Structure 1
Amino acid sequence: MPPLPRALFAMDPVHLPELFPPRLMARLQEVAQIDPTLVVRDFTDPEAVRAMAEAEILITGWGCPHIGADALAAAPRLRTVLHAAGSVRGLVGDAVWERGIAVSSAVRANALPVAEYTLAAILFAGKDTFGLRERFRTEHVYPAPGDHGPIGNLGRRIGIIGASRVGRRLLELLRPFDLTVTLYDPYVDDAEAAGLGVVRLPLDELMRTSDIVSLHAPDIPETYRMLDRAKLALIPDGGVLINTSRGALVDPLALADELVSGRIGAVLDVTEPEPLPADSPLYQLPNVFLTPHIAGSLGNELERLGRTVVDELERLAAGDDPTHRVVRSDLVRSA
């Protein structure tokens, strides 16, 4: 029986216990030789250099230093990077791809809680839960039966921007509800949109015809400020913008103006800058629901990311290719 491959952790060690709790660490150690007490934060550290010389598999996560040519020079046996987090775009350098090192990511697993958060936000927004909560908190009375306004989720028009992993999972979660869902994604054609169960629309039309717009596009140069002042103005009065993607996709000044005016509302898990300055009016607006970048994996959800890595290790041990392999060419249009 061949010896187990040598693996090495490279991340902020604060995440390790939640990514790999004892039962999962035991599974990992059945398929790889790894020291759970050694977690690399600096590839130039002498102990890290010694470990990199033997490492065949690098298990990375948030806080991992950039993996460039200098790091790889110390790792002649490295053949696989398994990332226990989402995007690897800022993590792996050109040298990784040029050397043919396989890269796998838990981005699909990390998409699940984001989609779940967004589903909850959509249903709450459709019932005007956030606005009515603020009114109840100040007035301490129930609204009269005819004083709720146009609320409810029957036939509510939902516009999804981006058929990313989060966007696709969200589309699946929305199917059981009586909602009208449309999609904008320049890389999705009508046939694929039909397979996803949605109607594809141009961005302007989606913005004009959606009660709730949910943003799930990647943060790439082509999407910078994609929702500018003109696009935001297309959202119908009383509409809601949900952003669990990145703040850079929305013009922050234009969004603030729309929200301060009260014309639309927003559920914002991400902003620009992040966090907002303490004097930002968005903290106090009754039509804005702000959360501190919590939609992605947190707490016990981190174990799902670690489980993805261990599953990949078991596939490698069986001689199979990683299921969640990252293709370099896809990084041009992915997070």
Structure 2
Amino acid sequence: MERKIALLMDQENLDSLFDAAHRKRLTRLGNVVTVTKPGALTPERSAALIEGADIAVTSWGCPPLDQAILEQAPGLRLIMHAAGTVKRIVTPEVVNRGIRVSSANTALGQRVAETALGLTIVSLKNIWQLARDTREGEWGRNRPKVKELYGITVGVIGAGQSGGYYIELMRRFQVRLLVCDPALTEEQIREMGAVKTDLEQLMRESDVVSVHAPAIPATDKMINGPLLQQMKDDAILINTARGSLIDEEALVAELGKGRLWACLDVTNPEPPAPDHPFRTLPNVTLIPHIAGVVTNGLRSLGEFTVTELEAFSEGRPLNGTVQLARLDTLA
């Protein structure tokens, strides 16, 4: 009997994630069913699509896979999430049924890390200030503030998918790497080419701090006023994780002193209020949550998804397997 693959996503996500080549590869793996009408993917539409499926491919906008949906596919063996976190779709029923879950968070994390690297370089080079000076008729006034990605200390908070790849990218430069991640041992971090440290030391000694930790209750406002006050003068704080990880009121107070530079891809809430200081402080680079995947980058998630399904079909290990027992601590 031919394997059934249900793509549980609306037409917009379907078109954004999978190009013609991806879809051709999918059809070689089984009978692929997709939405045929525009509109949001409701639980009812999901239940109809998943009926009798062996594999479900989910993405943004997919409702939680609860009992009412899953009972339509008693033979479901794999949920492949063509997006990042699976927390919005995985229910206790998924765990109880022993369904394997994989996620394209690996590919998404790489895009986040690449953005963090770009922000690291242009911030150290003081590109933001120099570009503003040049537009205003100055030439090189702040050139002495330029730094290279060499001989400095870079602190990484969270060494999961995006943080781990950021560390890998940083190893191409001659820098000292500090990592704070309670889920990893000293030996594991040493093997990554970095030094395990606590948050206080990392904040105190780093020239650049890049935040990659998950948004869970334990990390809410973990970067608080006292820690921000310990940062070096002219240090750079980059947040491509979640806005909730930083005490934003404390950050505004510290930025108001002119000591630090912040690159914020995420805030809490998003977007910040029109009159929020992040929009006007001269030492803030504020961008609209684009560190992950947008436009053509979405195809990388489609590529990862299809490759993962091919591996599953051939009995090979999956690269995006989600450890459901650790779901509460994952991003």
TM-score (norm 2): 0.94
Residue number among 187, 190, 203 corresponding to 1:207 in the alignment: 203
1:140-176, Cα deviation, whole Å (9 max, x unpaired): 12135x8623633331221111111111111111112
SS in 1 for 2:237: strand
Q: Any stretches of 5+ residues in structure 1 without a counterpart?
A: none
1:240–1:267 Cα contact (<8 Å) kept: yes
Tell me the equivalent position of 1:21.
19
Q: 1:137 to 1:282 in 2, by over 3 A?
A: farther
Question: Is 1:142 aligned to residue 107 of structure 2?
Answer: no
Q: Within 5 A, what are the aligned runs for 1:1-335?
A: 3-38=1-36, 41-45=41-45, 48-138=46-136, 140-143=137-140, 148-149=144-145, 151-335=147-331
Identity of counterpart residues, as a percentage? 36
* Aligned-residue offset at 1:64: 0.7
Change in Cα spacing, 1:231 to 1:60, as seen in structure 2 (3 Å) is same
SS of 2:122's equivalent in the other structure is helix
Paired residue secondary structure (1:44): helix
Per-residue deviation, 1:13: 2.3
**Partner letter of residue 171 of structure 1?**
I
Q: Distance in 2 between matches of 1:95 and 1:76?
A: 12
Counterpart CA distance in 1 for 2:147 and 2:47 is 60
Structure 2 runs not aligned, ≥5 long: none
| Maintained 8 Å contact 2:130/2:143 | no
Deviations 1:266-294 (A, max 9, x none): 00000111111111121122211111110
The letter for the 2-side match of 1:307 is E
Give 2:138's aligned amino acid: V
| d(CA) in 2 for partners of 1:147, 1:110 | 35
DSSP 3-state at the match of 2:31: coil
Residue deviations 1:243-277 (CA, integer Å, cap 9, x gap):
00000000111112222332211000001111111
Deviations 1:74-103 (A, max 9, x none): 332322111001110221100001011111
Alignment RMSD, CA only?
1.8
Residue identity opposite 1:252 in structure 2: E
Spell out, residue by residue over 1:42-65, the C-alpha distance to the aligned partner (whole angstroms, 9 max, x if none): 1224xx443332222111001111
1:232 deviation in Å?
1.1
Contact 1:8 1:38 (C-alpha < 8 Å) held by counterparts: no
* Partners of 1:249 and 1:236 in 2: CA distance: 20
Q: 3-state SS of the aligned residue for 2:176?
A: strand
Question: CA 1:316–1:190 in structure 2 vs 1: closer, same or farther (change >3 Å)?
Answer: closer
Displacement of 1:128 in angstroms is 1.4
Mean Cα deviation higher: 227-236 or 147-156 = 147-156
Count of residue pairs brought into register by the alignment: 329
**Helix, strand or coil for the counterpart of 1:248?**
helix
